[in-house]
Structure 1
Amino acid sequence: MGANQFEKAKDRRIFFNWFFFTLYVSSMVSYIVVVYIEDNVSWGLGFAVCLAANLFGLATFALGKQCYHLVKPRGTPFMDIARVIVAATRKRKVVILSENEDYYHQHDEILTVESTKPKDSFRFLNAAALKTEGDIKPEGSNAKPWRLCSVQQVENLKILIRIFPLWSRSIFLATPITIETSLVVLQILTMDRHICPHPSGWAPVSHAAETYLSISDTPPTNRNRTVVEHAQHLVLVGIGEAFHFPGQVALYYQEFPLLLKSTATTMISLIITIAFYLGAALIDLVKRISSWLPDDINNGRLDNVYWALVVMGIFNFGYYLVCSSLYKYQNVEKEIEVDNAYISD
């Protein structure tokens, strides 16, 4: 919704940066304030604060309704994806020709020389847009939408397939971050917590706290020195997230088909969700097959766990290099043309 308000790609990238900045700041506030209220006052009041915040956000959003640039709804894109898969499967034995007139186009599709027929990549899907007997009504409309799809619908699915490897490598990037978050909780539980007996709310904001301690000009003393010497990984995680998530969501928004723009911005949330489940499973596996994570981690080998994450990161980086070298941008030329047009104006 926010990205749709901007025409220039540069403005959208700035928006995504501010979006994630606001998201992280608000998350820090909620983890500290709401969790403190739940731990020290009552859970009911904590949930009431959350409800009030949601109502305030909804009201603020509604107040700007008259100013928003609204994209006209055009139906669910997921149904189109399902139709392409079903149609391609049903026509898997049909001989795929190369003549342009053999392929179906919706009346509202904007055709170019390149889009008059499907591309050769993932050629098995092209059969979904191939016209056969009985697929077209006399007036030219589609008679069997689950047997015949448009060229644009086929190409939209191909875009998702092409970008899937880049998206999947982000899961293996986010998984070590979620594991590190869990390990920080284990570390906090072994500390002297007489100052803060309820560490659960502080664990999610440990990245920011440790970053401050690491870059502070104040000479480190006592526990501060230990944190500075042994919490450098938290600083790197914070920097990595700042570079990773805004760029990812900007890439998806740029490359996804028009009908999937809203879906593009939710891909990061899906990555984080999968990463948390996968991270929990990996921690459970480590506890089952090794002695690295006992109940008292002072008697374990937390360093080995982190080295395992390093190895995972190295393999994931190699996977990313392969995926990025093979990926071809779909819409970057259009973005450049739009930006240049605004600059010339």
Structure 2
Amino acid sequence: MDGQTRQNFKGEAMDVEVSVDWRGRACKPNKHGGMRAAVFVLGIQAFEIMAIAAVGNNLITYVFNEMHYPLSKSANVVTNFIGTVFLLSLLGGFLSDSYLGSFWTMLIFGFVELSGFILLSVQAHLPQLRPPQCNMLSKEVQCPEANGLKALIFFVALYLVALGSGCLKPNMISHGADQFRKDDPKQSKKLSTYFNTAYFSFCVGELIALTVLVYVQTRSGMDVGFGVSAAAMALGLMCLVSGAVFYRNKPPQGSIFAPIAKVLVAAFTKRKQVCPSNTDMLHGSQTNPVRKTDASNLLHTEKFRFLDKACIRSSSPSTTKESPWQLCTVTEVEQVKILLSVVPIFACTIIFNTILAQLQTFSVQQGVVMDTRLTPTFSIPPASLQSIPYLLMLLLVPLYETAFVPLARRLTGNPSGVSPLQRVGVGLFTVTFSMVSAALVERKRRNSHHPISIFWITPQFLIFGVSEMFTAVGLIEFFYKQSLAGMQSFLTAMTYCSYSFGFFLSSVLVALVNRVTSGGGHGHGHDGGWLGENDLNKDRLDLFYWVLAGLSVLNFFNYLFWSRWYSYNPSLSPNPASVGDYADVEPV
């Protein structure tokens, strides 16, 4: 974007929503944006999730069998990798909003991810880059772990994939949503439909990854499987570039942290000031309730009143004009209040994603020691069981959009049917039953004298799939609708950051549980703790699942408190019900 366009954007952003085409020129409503442009973004989302899911969901098998890491360490390698992917989404959101824009961020880091897949495929194909083949389940043979150059190549490849995927994820969602103008009522109503369609695209990618690609990995080898992931990523990049002429691109607006820092510095500098009882005395206060879809005229709210001190004008007669680091507007302060307000909601989804980590690690290993035969000649790859909820979602998501939303819309008057916070709450409630089911099935498996069918672990995946449809989509919609001008990608990245913390917490919980339950196992005879062995028949995975179920119940009640506490700024939405559900709107 040239200097003149950037200057025009800064001047006009206070009044209308401004976007540019791939050449940096103003967009035309009949040529740019809309679902036609969003389809290309949905395409790269489907191919990218197809590529990364085929690796992430079956990675524990490769790390355990080929790299020869112990089971608990293998699980931590996987959770740390996936956690890093989602943590790096903050970097992708920051670069997009501040400097590169979402399209260029996706293009650059898409090639980074592609290089990681290629390097993984090369390592899996060349025996000299892996430890010698060995049976990890054999007690007579000591299998050496991958170390030195072999470990270095593996982790470099793995974290190139993590860097690329992490920086892509928030931008795919926000760039697709940016194709719908918030200042156009007709297109604004399509946002909720887009988020449901994006989740449908995600499910398609996951389903193909967990069936076709995992089958290829199992039958043809991980080198071929990683190669197919690389091919899928290349197709995704081609899809992204193909839609370039149709995109509405939000211009980057410089560092998103500078305005936040100004408010915090000004509030700290004037911490001894007393806030006026009449909020109209605050600098930049809006007296008329103007509804806008950008953040140019945010109204004052009552939470975090200590930040209002940044809006108090200096009483010193010698002060003629205060710098932006000493005096902020109400709108600037309210932007920071919104960021602080969404943090507790974000934190309440961490336990949810800790449960997801178990389904991608220990539940896969459950399937390995169960009867995987579908017919005498065909066995189901254990990782493919994770495709069951996505198969269900391919049926439920269109039904939700075409049947439930119109009915709920008539009952609630909410354009989305139910508010994003209500949707998240339903998901956090139902996910508990996924761990209850997992614990009961694991106990049945351990007590059985013969291997039971792998389909016994289907319910835990099904229940989680339903809860994810509510939680994941609701959280993304919530963050995007509460996002401020120039921060859509960064706030969307907070959704993925929740995944990151969830997977990192899983690693911490595994280590903590092993430490607490070691030394005799409290009557269970496990010196290494509940998860300290490489044999699930000796571990107590069922007890670990019960711990997670209990944490999930506590987390749900914690969420109820914070969702009731949360209050939105009425300037961000013309329909209060579309954002807040438990929250009471404070008078302004």
| Range into which the TM-score falls when normalised by the shorter chain | 0.7 to 0.9
1:42, 1:276 → 2: CA distance?
27
Taking the TM superposition and a 5 Å limit, the aligned residue runs for 1:48-127 are 48-98=227-277, 103-105=282-284, 111-113=286-288, 118-127=300-309
**Deviation of 1:208 (Å):** 4.6
Q: 1:4 aligns with which of 146, 168, 178?
A: 178
Q: Deviations over 1:201-225 (max 9, x none)?
A: 536546558999xxxxxxxxxx998
Q: Deviations over 1:222-256 (max 9, x none)?
A: x9984454542221111111111111111111122
Counterparts in 2 of 1:117 and 1:225: CA distance versus 1, 3 Å: closer
2:237, 2:488 → 1: CA distance?
22
1:185, 1:258 → 2: CA distance?
42
Q: 1:324 aligns with which of 543, 552, 563?
A: 563
Question: Which deviates more from structure 2 when the two are superposed, residues 42-51 or residues 6-15?
Answer: 42-51
**Deviation of 1:113 (Å):** 2.8
CA contact (8 A) 1:175 1:278 kept: yes
Residue 148 of structure 1 is matched in structure 2 by: 327
Taking the TM superposition and a 5 Å limit, the aligned residue runs for 1:150-229 are 150-191=329-370, 202=384, 204-205=386-387, 207-208=389-390, 226-229=453-456
1:232, 1:200 → 2: CA distance?
14
Counterparts in 2 of 1:101 and 1:320: CA distance versus 1, 3 Å: closer
1:239, 1:262 → 2: CA distance?
26
**Deviation of 1:33 (Å):** 5.0
Amino acid at match of 2:530: W
Residue 269 (structure 1) aligned with residue 269 (structure 2): no
Report the identity percentage.
29
Counterparts in 2 of 1:93 and 1:207: CA distance versus 1, 3 Å: same
**Deviation of 1:304 (Å):** 1.6
Amino acid at match of 2:288: V
Counterparts in 2 of 1:173 and 1:102: CA distance versus 1, 3 Å: same
Q: For residue 323 of structure 2, give the secondary structure of its aligned residue in structure 1.
A: coil
CA contact (8 A) 1:136 1:144 kept: no
Counterparts in 2 of 1:83 and 1:50: CA distance versus 1, 3 Å: farther
Question: Which deviates more from structure 2 when the two are superposed, residues 176-185 or residues 125-134?
Answer: 125-134
Amino acid at match of 1:161: L
Counterparts in 2 of 1:286 and 1:199: CA distance versus 1, 3 Å: farther
Q: For residue 498 of structure 2, give the secondary structure of its aligned residue in structure 1.
A: helix
**Deviation of 1:37 (Å):** 5.6
Question: Which deviates more from structure 2 when the two are superposed, residues 147-156 or residues 33-42?
Answer: 33-42
1:135, 1:169 → 2: CA distance?
45
Amino acid at match of 1:4: D
Question: RMSD across aligned C-alpha pairs, in angstroms?
Answer: 3.6
Q: 1:292 aligns with which of 502, 520, 530?
A: 530
Q: 2:487 aligns with which of 260, 284, 287?
A: 260
1:128, 1:335 → 2: CA distance?
27
Counterparts in 2 of 1:96 and 1:211: CA distance versus 1, 3 Å: closer
1:42, 1:78 → 2: CA distance?
46
**Deviation of 1:272 (Å):** 0.7
CA contact (8 A) 1:211 1:235 kept: no
1:136, 1:278 → 2: CA distance?
52
CA contact (8 A) 1:86 1:146 kept: yes
Question: Which deviates more from structure 2 when the two are superposed, residues 182-191 or residues 46-55?
Answer: 46-55
TM-score after normalising by structure 1: 0.77
Q: For residue 349 of structure 2, give the secondary structure of its aligned residue in structure 1.
A: helix
CA contact (8 A) 1:179 1:283 kept: no
Q: For residue 197 of structure 2, give the secondary structure of its aligned residue in structure 1.
A: helix
Residue 247 (structure 1) aligned with residue 474 (structure 2): yes
Unmatched runs of 5 consecutive residues or more in structure 2: 1-174, 290-296, 395-449, 518-528, 579-588
Q: Deviations over 1:177-219 (max 9, x none)?
A: 212332212313323669789957536546558999xxxxxxx
TM-score after normalising by structure 2: 0.48
Q: For residue 131 of structure 1, give the secondary structure of its aligned residue in structure 2.
A: coil
